[in-house]
Homo-oligomer: A and B are copies of this chain.
Amino acid sequence: MGREKVIAVVGLGLIGGSMAAALRGFEAYTVTGVVRRQETADYAISHGVCDRVTMDPMEILPEADLVYLCMDPRGIVDYMARYRDVFKPGSLVTDVGGIKTAIMEGAKVLPETVDFIGCHPMAGTEFSGIEHSFPTMFQRAHFILTPGERSTPEHLDLMKRISAYIGCSDVVVTTPERHDAIIAYTSQVMHIIALSVCDDEDLFRCRGFEGGSFRDCTRVAALDVGLWTQLFSMNAPALTKVIRRLEENLRAYRETIESGDLEALSKKLTWSADRKRQMNLPGPGQVML
């Protein structure tokens, strides 16, 4: 099959590197990585992360049919402002950012001829950099899309084909506001929990006493500080609301245990455990205690 169309993946870090590698071979597209450092370019080529790599955005953006922005949120917003007149007319720009309202706002800088659909593939690891990327990262993950007001059905359909090609479990189309409100709960506060657990004074004394639940819960605390400073602060109102609710739910458990009322504790446990069973989430990471 002839490769006549061009995907540019800007930023080959953990997510960008994985996305580029996952996209290779998609329909009639070639995948070109756009990087800033020679070492990243060398790694990408020697590890087959993409078909081509360039350090000059001007060389590839004018001919790219799809541009995947894989930097941190501010990097994505700044990039769109800087290259707004370079993107190819009729092209689609998308991203992988973990918050969507600020990015969709930033995308308004793009000319009318350039489409933008926000994207958040719900996958990743606690590591950073192209050397930790892998092409199967998105398998079984949700692929969340926040189309713009003038996004075309053709571009939405293209994103859905990409989701299927990289192995995502499903496509969720939503608004940026709803995305950010729910992601504060399902992702951001999980990180706040992991960090807060590691802040406990007993952390270094507990070696030898931890099981699977402790390892699972604290895993994501080893996060990329620069990235998560942005993600947390750019979604502060939604996130702090969820943290406050969690503080209240923890306090309710503490008070029930303090009360010594075993029947009340048993009732409360039954209620929470039933909610969890109703959710019945499948997927990786569900094995050991």
Residues of A within 8 A of B (CB): 122-126, 141-142, 144, 170, 172, 179, 181-183, 185-187, 189-223, 225-226, 228-229, 232-233, 236, 239-240, 242-247, 249-254, 257-258, 260, 262, 265-266, 269-273, 275-279, 281, 283-289
Contact = CB atoms under 8 A, between A and B. Distances in A.
Contacts of A220: 213, 289
Contacts of A205: 182
Given A122-B210, A191-B213, A250-B250, 17 more contacts: A123-B211, A124-B289, A185-B206, A192-B253, A192-B254, A195-B249, A195-B276, A197-B246, A198-B272, A198-B279, A199-B249, A207-B279, A215-B285, A216-B286, A221-B275, A233-B260, A240-B258
A124 B196 CA distance: 24
A123 B185 CA distance: 28
> Taking chain A's interface residues, is the majority helix, strand, or loop, or is none over half, making it mixed?
helix
Scoring A240, A243, A244, A288 by chain B CB atoms within 10 A of each residue's CB, the highest score goes to A288
Contacts of A122: 209-211
A226 to B, nearest CB: 7
The 4 closest A-B pairs by CB, nearest first: A221-B276, A124-B289, A196-B249, A216-B216
A159 to B, nearest CB: 15
Given A182-B209, A209-B182, A217-B216, A284 B288 contact: yes
Contacts of A212: 123, 283-285
Contacts of A181: 202
A185 B199 contact: no
Nearest to A122: B211
A179 to B, nearest CB: 7
